[in-house]
Structure 1
Amino acid sequence: MTIVPRSYKRTRKYRPNIWFEKLMALVAVINLIIVGFDLSYVPLRDFWLSGQVTIGGIKSAYIKLDGVKLDLISEDVSRFITQYDAVKGIIPNRDTEEYLDKVAQLRAELTVNGVDTPVAQNLFGDIRRRSIEIVQTDAFSEANKTGNLERIKNRMRSHLPNKDNSAKTAFWQYWTVKNFQGKVTPELEFFDREIKPLFETNYYRVVGENGGYVDYFGFIDFPFGIFFAVEFLGRTWLISRRHINISWLDAMLWRWYDFFFFIPGWRWLRVIPVTVRLNQAQIINLNSIQKQLSQGLVAGIAEDITEVVIIRLINQIQSSIRNGDISRLLSQQTANPYVDINNTNETAEIIRILAKVIADRVLPAIQPEAESLLQYSVDKAIRESPAYRGIKLLPGGDRTIINLSNQLISQTYSAFSSTLQAALAEDEQFDRLLESLVSNLGSSLSNELQAQQSMNKIELLLIDLLEEIKINYVERLSQEDIEDILEQTRSLRNISHKSPEY
């Protein structure tokens, strides 16, 4: 039986149950839909009340189109949905409700007894008075429905035009025996079709003791908050157990977006954790959007980062030059003792390695080309010398000179290569001499430069050169087309993804 160490158990990759993730994502979506309905109920209450939308309606000083009215939900569904008024603390407005009750009483009286009865005349007078009061006091303002009152006034003015274009006059003329005489049915149909639905949209919201509107949505949302809070605690506890050096608090911060599920305010922000959960449940794919967002962020800050990093680097180099680090580097002398971590002179060792590579590998490889170049140079020098003209007149003199030069060059090259290889062989005396040479070379160079007062001038020139680089080139780097760079990055990623893996 193999015993698996606890450390291995805690470092294995966590693979969530995809069906559990889908279930939790579904619950989150349901909660988000309920929250969205609650947030939009008051602004869309007119639609839930009538179940109609008007398409193509245009009213202006030059054109008037009534548009097309579409019934999207039935009256029964509308009546069921508007029961949500109790959750938002919405009750009928007393003034408009009494107004519609008076109109209903007048309708019943006109249908049974006609327009000439004393009861009908009293009702006409009462409704006229109430109409003027509603227009003057703006009874729709508490529900923020003043726009609906303006529609009522406009429709009444269009129905009964008057020279003053007054809504009060139109209402006064409408609710009269003379206007209803012989046309009770058409006038009541006009009111039911154009005026009554707008009156029904008016309401009053109950104000609580805290000064805000009464809202009982918290009782609906509370079970969801408890559910997601328990799930959050359990999930983060498992995360802390499955990862080394991750505390429970760290795991909670890891899932920071889930906090929006049980925060009473800003419920619309729950779209963030819902979107994340849908992506984790593989219901939607946000990888392409994530790439675009990250690339957009990179494009936005790359220019500033490029400029800041390069200027910071140049400023650091300038500061080092002003502090005399170049001189101390050449002499390997600093204010503090030089720290040697491996008892090795790295500069001398690098020179020895390079020299050995040249002697063992480079010189033999380039021997034919080097001998040809040397042969050509020697031949050219000999032919241009005055002695060559005399030797050339002797029998075989020209050939003799060529053979001698060839042998001399070949032997010299071979001797140089052999001598260098022998010198680079394991030899402690050679290593000490080489290290002494390198050390004295840097020290002598630094001393001579300082003796000739050239170091200060070199430092000033280097500082000015770096300043010119900042002015002339850093701005060009920051203005480089970041989109081209990102396009090249995407191309490289595509190539790497397409390349076979072994």
Structure 2
Amino acid sequence: MVRPRWLSAQRTGVSRSWLLWDRAIALWAAVNLIWVVFDITYVPFRTFWLQRNLTPLPQVPLVVPLTLLPDITPLYDPVKGIEPHRETQAYLRHFQALDQALSTDAPLAASAAQRSKQVELTLAMINENPFAASGNSGTLEKLKNRLRQRAGLDSAKQSAALLLSDGWLNRQGWQEERRFWQQQILPLVATSYWRSIDENGRPTDHSWRYDLLLFQGVFAFDILLRMVRLRRRFPGLSWRDALLRRWIDLPLLLPFWRWLRVAPVVERLSQAGLIDVEPLRAVISRGVVSLLALELFEVLALQLVDGTQSLIRSPQWPRMIRSLRSHQSVSALQQQSEQPLLGLLRLWGPMVLGQVTPRLTPELQSLLGHALEQSLREVPAGNVVPRALSRQLSAGMVDSLVELSRGTAERLAESDERQAALLQRFGDRFWEELAAALERGDTLERSQLLLCGLLQQLKLNYLAQMNRAGIGALMDELDQLTVPVSDSSGPPPTPPA
């Protein structure tokens, strides 16, 4: 695709210090974009950062541990106003105490009270649903389903009581049950959290402070430096115009819609020479320009045809035709020079009569000879006339016509005031008679109807064909014109001589 002129232009040279500065700011903007993406997705993906496990298929109990990733939730939870939920934390602490009691050699009866308390906490968690505060009500349903599947019952509450009963633990053993609780239940309980609300009724979020101090302040300083550099290159440029030229940097300073920063970041990385976005830009712009060009051309074509139809429907045809006469169409500029129509006649007349017509002598002789031969056959006893006679007559007539055209061309080429006046009088008389003929009868109305109908049919057929062609055909044609042929297909065929 053809590159725009503003992309083809060579950039003015910059000093190495400015280049290093631009690259450092571009990399810092890239770091900011990565942090913005992490900050926006932190709350929805907090469970992943907490457990650092990847579940490719949610319906299949397949977990891929990512132990290399650090646990960043203790550091980043305060930024988002996230605090541990009291009920779930009490549940986890009590389970640790129960685990210690059951891991000893003491009989099960010694931990009956603790197991009964753990069942009560489980029932309270099911009833109160602490996961709703963090918008993860689905986690509670997942926890209840796992309890049902483990116990083989339809009630999650009864399943919790059965899994911690004496009979179940005697049959299964605590070590086996401990693995189930620690791998299937406790990780779900640990995902619950409580998030505070600020004075505006919105969830607490302190990330704007870090964004303002670490990134937006640097970007504002860099934009100011770029404005100074622009004013040094163009002293007549105002501060407002210099700021408007850096409009693409505006998302870097906005505290909302931070995902829009991808545009200035890509632009800065490209200008710093760190990445090459030209192939991607060409693909995107080709599709956008093709779509806009098709829509724009449809509108222009429709407007042109509609304007022509409006002009044709105008009842002022005779007046407009009469305005072409010399004494009505002469403007102040034309009064000092020759008439356009008269000038064309004096330019094209000698060329057509003196140069073009003589070169058509053989063709004119053949055409006129054939016409004379056909005419003589219709006359009685015309078949006896030899063909040579018709050719001789046509040759004589064409020679006379050519000589006449040459003479006329020579006369037109001469500067003759009488000739110019006659031509002008002929043109005025022609326009007057044409306008008068249109005013008589219904010729004007019928002509307007026929011409408007023709344009309407052209408009419908052409626009329908453009819509059927669509963008796909335009893109395919553009690829055929712009994409070079691979060398593996061999050299292109040699055109015939």
State the SS of the aligned residue for 2:205.
coil
- Does structure 2 conserve the Cα–Cα contact (< 8 Å) formed by 1:375 and 1:409? no
> 1:66-113 CA distances to partner (integer Å, 9 max, x unpaired)?
33x322124xx5334542112111111111111222222233344457
2:255 is aligned, of 250, 264, 280, to 264
Alpha-carbon shift at residue 383 of structure 1 (Å): 11
State the SS of the aligned residue for 1:187.
helix
Change (3 A) 1:288 1:328: farther
| Matched letter for residue 228 of structure 1 | F
2:84 is aligned, of 60, 82, 92, to 92
1:194 maps to 2:184? yes
- 1-structure distance, mates of 2:224, 2:391: 94
1:108 maps to 2:100? yes
Equivalent residue number for residue 315 of structure 1 = 306
Q: Aligned Cα RMSD in Å?
A: 4.0
- Does structure 2 conserve the Cα–Cα contact (< 8 Å) formed by 1:424 and 1:430? no
Alpha-carbon shift at residue 482 of structure 1 (Å): 4.3
Alpha-carbon shift at residue 385 of structure 1 (Å): 8.9
- 2-structure distance, mates of 1:450, 1:251: 62
- 2-structure distance, mates of 1:30, 1:310: 49
- Does structure 1 conserve the Cα–Cα contact (< 8 Å) formed by 2:80 and 2:204? yes
**Paired residues for 1:8-407 under 5 Å:** 14=12, 20-56=21-57, 58=59, 65-67=60-62, 69-74=63-68, 77-111=69-103, 114-115=106-107, 120-162=111-153, 165-177=154-166, 179-180=168-169, 183-222=173-212, 223-239=214-230, 242=233, 247-301=238-292, 304-332=295-323, 338=329, 340=331, 341-343=333-335, 344-367=338-361, 369-370=363-364
**Paired residues for 1:438-449 under 5 Å:** 438-449=427-438
- Does structure 1 conserve the Cα–Cα contact (< 8 Å) formed by 2:324 and 2:431? no
After TM superposition, the score normalised by the length of structure 2 is 0.79
- 2-structure distance, mates of 1:38, 1:205: 15
- Does structure 2 conserve the Cα–Cα contact (< 8 Å) formed by 1:115 and 1:177? no
- 1-structure distance, mates of 2:426, 2:442: 24
2:422 is aligned, of 433, 442, 454, to 433
| Matched letter for residue 201 of structure 1 | T
State the SS of the aligned residue for 2:80.
coil
- 2-structure distance, mates of 1:133, 1:429: 116
Gaps of 5+ in 1: 1-10, 59-64, 393-397, 496-502
Alpha-carbon shift at residue 371 of structure 1 (Å): 5.6
Alpha-carbon shift at residue 489 of structure 1 (Å): 4.1
> 1:238-295 CA distances to partner (integer Å, 9 max, x unpaired)?
3465469864434444433321111111222222322333333444443343343334
Alpha-carbon shift at residue 237 of structure 1 (Å): 4.6
- 2-structure distance, mates of 1:161, 1:386: 118
State the SS of the aligned residue for 2:201.
coil
State the SS of the aligned residue for 2:407.
helix
State the SS of the aligned residue for 1:140.
helix
State the SS of the aligned residue for 2:334.
coil
Query: After the TM superposition, which of the residue ranges 461-470 and 312-321 deviates more from structure 2?
Result: 461-470
Query: After the TM superposition, which of the residue ranges 42-51 and 367-376 deviates more from structure 2?
Result: 367-376
Alpha-carbon shift at residue 353 of structure 1 (Å): 0.9
Aligned-residue sequence identity (percent) comes to 27
Change (3 A) 1:350 1:106: same
Alpha-carbon shift at residue 141 of structure 1 (Å): 1.7
- Does structure 1 conserve the Cα–Cα contact (< 8 Å) formed by 2:49 and 2:72? no
State the SS of the aligned residue for 2:353.
helix
Alpha-carbon shift at residue 384 of structure 1 (Å): 9.8
Change (3 A) 1:46 1:480: closer
Give the length in aligned residue pairs: 467
Change (3 A) 1:485 1:189: closer
State the SS of the aligned residue for 2:426.
helix
- 2-structure distance, mates of 1:331, 1:158: 97
- 1-structure distance, mates of 2:378, 2:167: 136
- 2-structure distance, mates of 1:177, 1:401: 130
Equivalent residue number for residue 3 of structure 2 = none
Equivalent residue number for residue 5 of structure 1 = none
| Matched letter for residue 357 of structure 1 | M
State the SS of the aligned residue for 1:277.
helix
State the SS of the aligned residue for 1:142.
helix
1:479 maps to 2:479? no
1:414 is aligned, of 403, 421, 431, to 403
- 2-structure distance, mates of 1:337, 1:402: 49
| Matched letter for residue 463 of structure 1 | C
Alpha-carbon shift at residue 31 of structure 1 (Å): 0.6
| Matched letter for residue 253 of structure 2 | F
Equivalent residue number for residue 450 of structure 2 = 461
Alpha-carbon shift at residue 132 of structure 1 (Å): 1.6
> 1:164-200 CA distances to partner (integer Å, 9 max, x unpaired)?
x222122223334555459343333332232222222
State the SS of the aligned residue for 2:54.
strand
Alpha-carbon shift at residue 117 of structure 1 (Å): 6.9
Equivalent residue number for residue 499 of structure 1 = none
- 2-structure distance, mates of 1:123, 1:383: 129
- 2-structure distance, mates of 1:404, 1:101: 124
> 1:291-314 CA distances to partner (integer Å, 9 max, x unpaired)?
433343355455554443333223
- 2-structure distance, mates of 1:324, 1:245: 54
